[in-house]
Amino acid sequence: MPESRQPPSNPSSNADSFEYTAVLSLVGIDVGGTKTHIRVVDNEGTVAESVIPSEHWRRGPLFSDEGNFDRLGAAVRSLGAVTGGTIVVAGVHGCDTAEQMSRATARLEEALDASVTVVNDALLLHHATGIRPTIEMIVGTGAVISGTTTDGDRVTVDGYGWPLGDRGSSHDLVSAALRATLGAWDRGEGGADPLYPAMLAAFQAGDSAELAERASLLANGTAWGAHASVVFDQVEAGSRTAASIVNAAAADLARGVAHLIDRGATGRTVVAGGGVIVNQAPYENAIRHHLARVLPDVELVVVRTPPVHGAVELARELRSKRGERSGARS
């Protein structure tokens, strides 16, 4: 648990009206498709954090609402005072290009009036471990694989969002299960596999037409992805269809790593995070199996610590480098 903050031990004479506000030194932010995790370290070394649904501050796509960054900044300020000396690192799901990261950095700097660095959320996994170099894999509500070339260029595979990509994500698994269920009903095989009635029950549908209608009304990565546990539960229950879906998704992720290496990504350790791979051991094992099959020299390491830890560590590295530069100038 984070250490709780305490007011100063020697408050001024008007102590009854004194309100202590911690001055933040480091701020780490992990913006995922479902939740946003903020962890701060104040000038006394005390740690505090907050986890909020991303929809609490984000309205639509990241850059679609000018108030998004102001609301994110307000969430940070709720944990302490931000000053010009505060160093902020935000790993943001959906910030994939240099132009997007630059825009997000500028907007968050404007909202916080602090030193800000925005990176893709996958890069947080790199900084959450002591392994160098790495290939990063996020498998949660969304999915993306990223790495760095010998020239220092960032390269990614997928991460295109729920309508078009994110293969292997929770949404992708449910999407495949929905298609399989509807196809089975079309063939008159709605009872041939336990996955099919389980999907109807998950969406509170009585038949295929109602399932399609309800799923379409809810269509977004978070809403569909929330039912990924149904797919894994049915694997445990003996569903061949669910097992096939999970196996195919794991193979897709392994192929994504191979594509990334073909494009020049360095490192032979895949550091993986995200709620799906962290919380579903059979899925982790399937991904590990397919990686060993297509890339026998590649190791998979699942990062159990929250990715926001990597954001704080990167902020700490940036503060150290700033100190080194200041010392060199003096």
Provide the pLDDT for residue 98: 86
Measured CA to CA, the distance from residue 155 to residue 148 in angstroms comes to 6
CA distances from 283 to 26, 173, 208, 238, 253 (A): 34, 11, 27, 15, 11
Q: Same CATH topology for 15-122+307-329 and 170-302?
A: yes
Angstrom distance (rounded) from CA 29 to CA 277: 21
Residue 328: what pLDDT?
Answer: 56
Output the DSSP codes for 224-259. HHTTHHHHHHHHHTT-HHHHHHHHHHHHHHHHHHHH
Flag whether pLDDT at 130 surpasses 90: no
Residues 243-254: what's their mean pLDDT? 98
Least confident of 43-57, 187-201, 286-300, 311-325: 311-325
Q: Using N-to-C axis directions, what is the helix angle for 68-77 and 98-112, rounded to 10°?
A: 50
Residue predicted with more confidence, 305 or 3: 305
Confidence of residue 327 (pLDDT cuts 50, 70, 90): low
pLDDT bracket for residue 80 (50, 70, 90): very high
What pLDDT, on a 0 to 100 scale, did the predictor assign at position 321? 85
pLDDT at position 6 is: 40
81-107: pLDDT as tens digits = 999 999 999 999 878 888 999 999 999
Position of tokens 């978070």? Answer: 222
The pLDDT, as a whole number, for residue 162 is 84
Choose which CATH entry (1.20.140.10, 3.30.420.40, 3.30.56.10, 3.40.1710.10) describes domain 170-302: 3.30.420.40
pLDDT above 50 (res 221): yes
The answer to whether the bond into 197 is cis (omega within 30° of 0) is: no
When the pLDDT of each residue in the chain is averaged and rounded to a whole number, the result is 90
State residue 10's pLDDT score. 40
State residue 96's pLDDT score.
81
The domain ranges of the chain are: 15-122+307-329, 170-302
Q: What local confidence, expressed as pLDDT, does residue 20 receive?
A: 54
CA distance 60 to 117: 22
- Kindly report which listed range (15-24, 74-83, 226-235) carries the lowest average pLDDT score: 15-24
Query: Which pLDDT tens digit goes with each residue over 174-207?
Result: 999 999 999 999 999 999 999 999 999 999 999 9
Confidence of residue 163 (pLDDT cuts 50, 70, 90): confident
Window from 113-117, 138-142, 226-230, 251-255 with minimum mean pLDDT: 138-142
| Distance from C-alpha of 18 to C-alpha of 11, rounded to nearest angstrom | 7
pTM above 0.85, yes or no: no
CATH class of domain segment(s) 15-122+307-329: alpha beta
